[in-house]
Structure 1
């Protein structure tokens, strides 16, 4: 053979070419989905899928709690090639989320969310902690600080008074009345426009828009486009999920641009009431709110927090029904401080330690954000010898932290007294985690929820009102007549653990309480008036009838 004129062929190379390809293929198949060296421990993985086959589809936090008991204060999961790390104690939250916030302040990439709210204009879920996010964060902090809250305490009290009135008139609709209160209060402080009825046009549009938004984000009904990005390449006219997302985005923008326009018109006509968006318009240059798109999304993200507030209040009411001894102790305390000749006031709260402890215990017992919102690592970090790699998704396991048997006596029992013995409810005989803080429920780092003051005050005031005015009782079985306690484990799954509508009995304590409540409802009409300038004729008529004592 003429070796100088011979041209090598693939068959001549034979195993020398195939062997590296085979080795790489074997390595890929065996390593894809495997836990990389240095990661925190976790359940055994399977090739390709990692832990995808055992990842819970509902009540995720309960399974995470069980894994925390097995694998410790931090564990990891692999969802195909994605890494997920779960933090189960306050010290790790402080170290990773608070101290190293520059490395952990991103949110995981969400193709669907990017389509719903483009350009990173979402304070809670926007992916990057970039300049746009910082503008929204700074503006929210200015609006939601404790000093500004004082400007709205009378309005919040007035809305809470209507909630009591609504419950007295139609107690079976308690679930919707709470929704009305939290949403109307949010719309009032943000847009200066309240809704006196769950059936108000603004309220119905808000709930419709919010439902579309949640439906578009529901992992049970939408394709796993973040795991399989190729699905995003399919044209919109061929797939329903993209049409669903587009419809939700159009509804979202239409609602919040319209509300922004209402605020701008009211301000130009000299009818302002000091709402958040008026303040934002007045300070737009200083705060960097340089476009209507920023202003629109600022308002939207502020009002959407009402959903979490509703869930927390609904959970609190159900805890009162499920634990009558705790309700009775709170009522005894409230009666000593308030009596029956007047309604509760803001300044009563400081004199009600057991009742305030009951609020803390309800939040601990059934946190409405059991895992908070996920973070994403911007760069590699190593803590206690474990790797937190770039692009890993990090969850704060709030439920596990507040059900940790090392710190909480009988964590699965409802014991408000624990918060009278210790500010964080932990056992007196143990050395508490030094990083524990009161606002762990609200996240951490640069992503901590700025609306803490508003959320906490709503729970405290309305709890006192509820127990002062009503006996909160279980429903009765229509056949046996036996009382049926609410199932506190019956709640929707997702980022927010929302209790499902449950029948309860809400009964006025006395005619005297009703007389005081009626007087109070009439008195707050003057406070509510500045927020009722754009009421529909239907809503105006409804209020006129309600206030015609």
Structure 2
């Protein structure tokens, strides 16, 4: 009987995969070598960003890839992204039903699919109100304090070892403090705090469980008949633990007798108005924490490694900071327009070594047509950020870390992302109606983080046993929704004796 079911599944998949192209339209180009039922799944390899980009060079800026039962549309040019995700945003603003652990956590609610519907249009303004430009202005002192404390912690860590250390955990700690202060007025003093440890452990386990190899049933439905009970139990346990964690976080706000204003209190107010329910508040809190911690801390981790490998870039940055800021105060947000090279470093960092290769895929719920090609409904639409950022037609010598390419860009990434696609600096924050909600917050954090890191320190590679610097291999990555470099060590050398006095407020 099982063999009969398998045969029926193969026949059903064959029927689904048959050309359903609207009459008169062409099928999108597709790589050769597709296998029945499996499609191109085994051709992707361990570096899908490079394979998708390689295919784009031969197939063009838009093509399709079959991954089991999923049809993926790969977009690898600013024009294609602008035409589809921006100009036709209403058609391409849903998300893919691919987050199994959220399906478990939300007990059947449509968070996993996250369609572009009336419910989304109610939630989106809430998210913009708590993470948008106004929130950045209102919380400028909070951001300033946390990045001052980050630099103090890095000073202390650098004094404890001459061999170097991994700064990633300090960046993660600062990002978590900012979000937890915004969400519930709570911060932790060190990376050893139980709150930080529990959050990092839960998120780390969650990302590990979401690896493609653990989600094969999303690509091959036949595997649902042969469930991996151990894996499913681990997913459910992790999802339940995440829900319990964030319910405790929400309860802290509910139990706060002082009723201090915070993001979760705003969400609870929307619940009282009947717009959200209990699970909505928990889910949105989880989303804010996840989105507000990993991308920024990963960006700073990548950029620190890249700067260690490029001392000539640091030298130019140090000259600018010494001329504009001096050695008796740290850079402030108000200095942004006067430190164009620092701003260029940040933009180049998002292009050269951003925390995403694809971001979160989009989905189209109806058929569409582009340039004579048929785009089937219910496809996974992928913004190939890596491919665009490594396009020689758009960026001269793209494999070089060259901040100078952005010195003529005076507008913020936020403003450019909402304008003409041809004028964008990079695509690290996504595109269209699903543009990163926290883009204003992320830009402010990167400005403070990068400018102060370079004001305080000279970043050097760790030394090998022979006493020679060991360049960081930026090709070694930890792939996932957020892309991280492999663990590394750097030495942070204070640039002058005044650093700690200024950070502590003692310098005049």
- Whole-angstrom CA distance in 2 between matches of 1:111 and 1:422: 37
Q: 1:245 aligns with which of 210, 235, 241?
A: 235
Match of 1:449 in 2: 436
Q: Equivalences for 1:206-221 in 2 at 5 Å? A: 206-220=199-213
Q: Shift of residue 108 of structure 1?
A: 2.0
Match of 1:294 in 2: 280
Tell me the secondary structure at the aligned position of residue 428 of structure 2. helix
Tell me the secondary structure at the aligned position of residue 368 of structure 1. coil
Could you say if the C-alpha distance between residues 422 and 170 of structure 1 is closer, same or farther in structure 2, counting changes exceeding 3 Å? closer
Q: Shift of residue 471 of structure 1?
A: 1.2
Match of 1:175 in 2: 168
8 A Cα contact 1:42 1:71, kept in partner: yes
How high is the TM-score relative to the length of structure 1? 0.82
**1:115 equivalenced with 2:115 (yes/no):** no
Match of 1:202 in 2: 195
Q: 2:116 aligns with which of 123, 129, 136?
A: 129
Structure 1: 5+ residue runs without aligned partners?
Answer: 1-23, 426-431, 524-549
**1:368 equivalenced with 2:355 (yes/no):** yes
- Whole-angstrom CA distance in 2 between matches of 1:366 and 1:111: 25
Match of 1:406 in 2: 393
Q: Equivalences for 1:43-442 in 2 at 5 Å? A: 43-49=31-37, 51-110=39-98, 112-113=100-101, 114-120=103-109, 122=111, 126-171=113-158, 172-220=165-213, 222-233=214-225, 239-266=229-256, 269-272=257-260, 274-285=261-272, 288-305=274-291, 306-422=293-409, 435-438=422-425, 440-442=427-429
Could you say if the C-alpha distance between residues 249 and 336 of structure 1 is closer, same or farther in structure 2, counting changes exceeding 3 Å? same
8 A Cα contact 1:381 1:388, kept in partner: yes
- Whole-angstrom CA distance in 1 between matches of 2:426 and 2:271: 29
Q: Shift of residue 70 of structure 1?
A: 0.7
> Highest CA radius of gyration, 1 or 2?
1
1:186-242 deviation digits (Å, cap 9, x = unpaired): 11112211112111111111112212321221223x15111233443567xx71111
8 A Cα contact 1:187 1:194, kept in partner: yes
1:23-42 deviation digits (Å, cap 9, x = unpaired): x9999898876766532212
Q: Shift of residue 166 of structure 1?
A: 0.7
Tell me the secondary structure at the aligned position of residue 394 of structure 1. strand
- Whole-angstrom CA distance in 1 between matches of 2:404 and 2:113: 39
Could you say if the C-alpha distance between residues 439 and 52 of structure 1 is closer, same or farther in structure 2, counting changes exceeding 3 Å? closer
Judge which range, 64-73 or 36-45, deviates more.
36-45
Match of 1:503 in 2: 489
Could you say if the C-alpha distance between residues 27 and 206 of structure 1 is closer, same or farther in structure 2, counting changes exceeding 3 Å? closer
Q: Shift of residue 380 of structure 1?
A: 0.3
Match of 2:415 in 1: none
Match of 1:532 in 2: none
- Whole-angstrom CA distance in 1 between matches of 2:426 and 2:107: 30
- Whole-angstrom CA distance in 1 between matches of 2:276 and 2:411: 42
8 A Cα contact 1:50 1:77, kept in partner: no
- Whole-angstrom CA distance in 1 between matches of 2:10 and 2:386: 40
8 A Cα contact 1:105 1:378, kept in partner: no
Q: Shift of residue 517 of structure 1?
A: 1.7
- Whole-angstrom CA distance in 2 between matches of 1:26 and 1:393: 21
- Whole-angstrom CA distance in 2 between matches of 1:395 and 1:101: 14
8 A Cα contact 1:44 1:51, kept in partner: no
- Whole-angstrom CA distance in 2 between matches of 1:471 and 1:373: 35
Judge which range, 487-496 or 24-33, deviates more.
24-33
8 A Cα contact 2:357 2:483, kept in partner: yes
Over the residues paired in the alignment, what is the CA RMSD in angstroms? Answer: 2.8
Q: Shift of residue 45 of structure 1?
A: 3.8
Tell me the secondary structure at the aligned position of residue 442 of structure 1. coil
Match of 1:545 in 2: none
Could you say if the C-alpha distance between residues 158 and 147 of structure 1 is closer, same or farther in structure 2, counting changes exceeding 3 Å? same
Structure 2: 5+ residue runs without aligned partners?
Answer: 1-7, 159-164, 413-418
Q: Shift of residue 316 of structure 1?
A: 1.2
- Whole-angstrom CA distance in 2 between matches of 1:189 and 1:118: 28
1:349-390 deviation digits (Å, cap 9, x = unpaired): 221001110110111111211111111220100010111101
Tell me the secondary structure at the aligned position of residue 51 of structure 2. helix
8 A Cα contact 1:121 1:133, kept in partner: no
Tell me the secondary structure at the aligned position of residue 377 of structure 2. coil
Tell me the secondary structure at the aligned position of residue 510 of structure 1. coil
Judge which range, 132-141 or 466-475, deviates more.
132-141
Match of 1:7 in 2: none
- Whole-angstrom CA distance in 2 between matches of 1:335 and 1:43: 52
8 A Cα contact 2:307 2:313, kept in partner: yes
Q: 2:469 aligns with which of 452, 474, 483?
A: 483
- Whole-angstrom CA distance in 1 between matches of 2:41 and 2:425: 36
1:74-100 deviation digits (Å, cap 9, x = unpaired): 111122443211011122212222222
Tell me the secondary structure at the aligned position of residue 170 of structure 2. helix
How high is the TM-score relative to the length of structure 2? 0.88
- Whole-angstrom CA distance in 2 between matches of 1:233 and 1:149: 48
Could you say if the C-alpha distance between residues 206 and 59 of structure 1 is closer, same or farther in structure 2, counting changes exceeding 3 Å? same
Q: Shift of residue 133 of structure 1?
A: 2.9
Could you say if the C-alpha distance between residues 133 and 365 of structure 1 is closer, same or farther in structure 2, counting changes exceeding 3 Å? same
8 A Cα contact 2:132 2:440, kept in partner: yes
